[in-house]
Amino acid sequence: MSFDGDRSRRDVLKAAVALGGASALTACLDRTADEPVPTGDPAAKPARQHAWREYVRHDEHGNSQLPAHQILLYVDFAGDGPPADDDRAALAATLDALDRAYAWRHEGLLHSVAYSPAYFGRFDESLPDGIDLPEPRALSPFESPAFDRQDAVLHLASDRADVVLEADRALRGERDAANGVSVPPLTDVATVDSRRTGFVGAGLPADHQDAAGIPASKPVPEASPLFMGFKAGFRGNQATESYVTIESGPFAGGTTKVIANLRQRLADWYEEQSHEERVMEMFSPGHAAEDLVEGVGSNLGSDSGIDRFVDDVAADARESGRVGHAQKAARANRDAEGNVRLLRRHFESTDDIGSEQPVASLHFPSLQRNVSEFEAVRRAMNGTDVTELTPAVRQRVNNGILEYIFVRRRGNFLVPPRRHRALPTPQPA
């Protein structure tokens, strides 16, 4: 297989992650065989599974650049009671092998395993007081997602497609070793119910816009890390990893993770709206009036500047007939001291779960100390209150980006600290 340049290389690597096929893996390995992947030292791994910030790339403003290639493996363990000690030891050995195979870095592998309320329901004892992990539920009057109630989700992330793919195949028992390290397969103790793949970062969405939900005019800018044409995840609008970390009890050092999957339908977003209108709906009408967002918004630096416009929601609805997505969400995304509550780590996908057709979608993992914090922010983003102020803003019209995104699935999970990552009981010692 030959590579004509960055663009075709990206195409092949991303297609390979989605396919997971042996020939695709070979293509990846051929391409990068001359660039060794750093191996890992299990003793050097951070105590928090969600510790990514220090280990990923940053842009010139200090914003995190998430690993370009990611895979989510939703798995179920055998039976429906507490897992066996042998299975716990086997899963621990599998995760330890991954730790030896790859450095905990963006050019190695970041990985984590998180457990659902259904998993903890296998035990007689309950989670400690203070762990806020409800079953997933619909969070708006206009969505009816399928709920991901599998036992656990494994998240793999790397800037190298060949790395996530090789780790994924070793976990699924399709190869014996990863980066030269023998890996006992995850599939010895679990069944993979759903495998979801994605990508994020400038260039990748533009390269993969040939997907249902994106108009044929190929509107996604090359500079955009996301299909919707803007950058997200400014440092000032994200919770820190410490903030989202559970502070006390057996799960101290852990966090909660809500993962939604949203379908995107961007024809009207791109074809019926100007850049100015998109800025109004994504950020706020004030951002458009003051011309604050150039192109994909890199000029915003390390903060979207949304705090200045949060109190304008009602006035903007009446005067501009539109309100912004970030503006609405931010209303519930600060604590009493002004700290940001959620750490969003979303990435794009063209998976159509259960079919072969590429469909523009978004995998939306969000980390927070309590799942209720996510739920409050999501309700603020619904903007149902705003629809009562003016007929111009309806539940899904002129109401941020709700006209273009459709929640298909949602699951809630607990990410234990590394020391309890293998099949934890609800009250680990």
Give the residue with the Cβ less far from ligand HEM, 106 or 344: 344
User: Alpha carbon of 114 to those of 73, 135, 296: distances in Å?
Assistant: 11, 14, 33
Nearest to 421 by CA among 171, 51, 113: 113
When the beta carbons of 55 and 364 are compared against ligand HEM, the nearer one is 364
* Distance of closest approach, residue 85 Cβ to ligand HEM, in angstroms: 38
Q: Which residues contact 416 (CB under 8 A, 6 or more apart)?
A: 49, 114, 115, 251, 254, 424, 428
Give the nearer residue to ligand HEM in terms of CB position, either 115 or 230.
Answer: 230
Longest dimension (CA), the chain: 64
Q: Please give the sequence-ordered ranges of beta strands (E in DSSP) within 301-388, or none if there are none.
A: 343-344, 347-349, 361-368
- Structure tokens that stand for 211 in this block: 């997907």
Closest distance to ligand HEM from the beta carbon of 122 (Å) = 29
- Rounded Cα distance between 317 and 408, Å, is 28
Which residue is listed with tokens 């044929």? 216
Nearer to ligand HEM, 304 or 398 (CB): 304
What residue spans of 202-304 are helical by DSSP H?
A: 204-207, 267-271, 275-282, 285-289
Q: Which is nearer to ligand HEM, 132 or 168 (CB)?
A: 132
Alpha-carbon span 391 to 381, nearest angstrom: 18
CA–CA distance, 427 with 79 (Å, rounded to integer):
20
Which stretches of the chain bind ligand HEM, using CB under 6 A?
A: 226, 228, 230, 232-234, 237, 262, 264, 282, 304, 306, 325-326, 329-330, 333, 340, 342, 344, 362, 364, 377-378, 381, 405
Residue 16 Cβ vs ligand HEM, minimum distance, rounded to whole Å:
24
**What's the closest the beta carbon of residue 145 comes to ligand HEM, in angstroms?**
11
Query: Nearest approach, Cβ of 277 to ligand HEM (angstroms)?
Result: 15
| Alpha carbon 191 to its chain's center | 22
User: Closer CB to ligand HEM, residue 152 or residue 329?
Assistant: 329
Which amino acid is present at 23?
A: S
Q: Closest distance between ligand HEM and the C-beta of residue 59, in Å? A: 13
Pick between residue 233 and residue 383 the one whose CB is nearest to ligand HEM.
233
Counting every residue, how long is the chain? 429
Cβ-based neighbours of 429, under 8 Å, separated by 6 or more? 250
CB of 347 to ligand HEM, least distance (A): 11
Least Cβ distance, residue 218 to ligand HEM (angstroms): 18
Short-list 119, 129, 128, CA closest to 154: 119
Q: Which two tokens stand for residue 174?
A: 């399709």
Query: What pairing do the DSSP bridges indicate for beta strands 146-147 and 405-415?
Result: parallel
Q: CB nearer to ligand HEM: give 174 or 385.
A: 385
Q: What is the identity of the amino acid at 400? A: G
Nearer to ligand HEM, 102 or 230 (CB): 230
Minimum gap (Å) between residue 264 Cβ and ligand HEM: 6
